[in-house]
Amino acid sequence: MDDYYETSLKQNMLNAIGSIRSDVEVSGYSVWRSEESLNLIENSRKQYLKLFKSLPLHPQTEKFKPDNLETNPWRKLCVGASNGIGDPYAQFLTTTYLNDSNINYGALSSLFDLMIVMRNTLTGMPVEFGKDSESCGYWNACRIHHYPRGGGFMSEHRDTHFPSVLDKDGIPFLQVMACLSKPNEHFDEGGGFIRSKKGIKVPLDNTESYGSFVFFDGAMRHGVDTVDAHIIPDFLSPLGRVAAFANLYEIL
């Protein structure tokens, strides 16, 4: 993606801030998509698929240093009855953490930069917040969630840990997700969902979702339904449900 499209996409998304914010306030979520976002996300997917196979897969509890991500992206299993911070919801996926400003990532760097700008703008934070982690106490946890066909899932839950950490510093919490996989092509069944305020399940993976950004209130119940339970999982397969996130994590 060249600079023109990148600038144009960012400007178009920033122009939509008002409607995205109002959708999130009223409905708890907002979906935004354009030809340019599809282009960026398709290129990001290609880059991720090239990268992830070369990375060793680490167990869930093995620690890594965010400072080292620039040279060593970290791919880990997230499998168990609780998540990595001990919240009691089960999951089965791999997560690949990347440094957002690594120029070697090209499209992925542009994708994460855009997600950070949107998150910070929508939450009223300085646009660059999280980039200089030493001064602000947080880092941008830029990562790809990959739910393998053959049982990938995340139990329905509300986000609690990170909202409460951020709240102590007066920082609002908002989930920003990019949809990097296409239902019926990359997986057959299952996928992400959010519960509406009325409790109705709203699928986040549908025929229109590939190439879109989803902004949602993590206090709404959400999760990932089991992806293709009829086959055996393969952690090196490019198939499955894939999504990118860029949350603020505290420096531990």
Number of Cβ atoms within 10 Å of the Cβ of 16:
16
What b/e readout covers 160-191, taking b as 16+ CB neighbours within 10 angstroms?
Answer: eebbebbeeeebebbbbbbbbbbbeebbeebb
Q: Which residues, listed in sequence order, are joined to residue 141 by a DSSP beta bridge?
A: 247
Show the beta-strand stretches assigned E in the chain.
29-33, 57-58, 74-80, 91-98, 138-147, 152-157, 175-179, 191-195, 201-203, 212-216, 222-227, 241-250
Which lies closer to Fe ion via its Cβ, residue 84 or residue 137? 84
Which lies closer to Fe ion via its Cβ, residue 100 or residue 159? 159
User: For Fe ion, what does the binding mask look like between residues 158 and 187, x meaning CB under 5 A?
Assistant: -x----------------------------
Q: Of all residues in this chain, which one has the CB nearest to Fe ion in the complex?
A: 159
- Which span (37-45, 155-163, 200-208, 243-251) binds Fe ion, by CB under 5 A? 155-163
Please state the closest distance from residue 104 (CB atom) to Fe ion, in A: 29
Which lies closer to Fe ion via its Cβ, residue 159 or residue 228? 159
Taking CB under 5 A as the criterion, which residues in 19-48 touch Fe ion?
A: none
Please state the closest distance from residue 139 (CB atom) to Fe ion, in A: 18
Please state the closest distance from residue 157 (CB atom) to Fe ion, in A: 6
- Which span (105-113, 122-130, 153-161, 184-192) binds Fe ion, by CB under 5 A? 153-161
Which lies closer to Fe ion via its Cβ, residue 33 or residue 158? 158
C-alpha–C-alpha distance, residues 163 and 171, integer Å: 8
C-alpha–C-alpha distance, residues 161 and 188, integer Å: 32
Please state the closest distance from residue 36 (CB atom) to Fe ion, in A: 27
- Which span (98-106, 119-127, 152-160, 186-194) binds Fe ion, by CB under 5 A? 152-160
Number of Cβ atoms within 10 Å of the Cβ of 91:
24
- Please give the size of the binding site for Fe ion, defined by CB under 5 A: 1
Amino acid, single-letter form, for residue 138: Y
- Which span (22-30, 78-86, 126-134, 156-164) binds Fe ion, by CB under 5 A? 156-164
C-alpha–C-alpha distance, residues 190 and 148, integer Å: 11
Site residues (vs Fe ion, CB under 5 A): 159
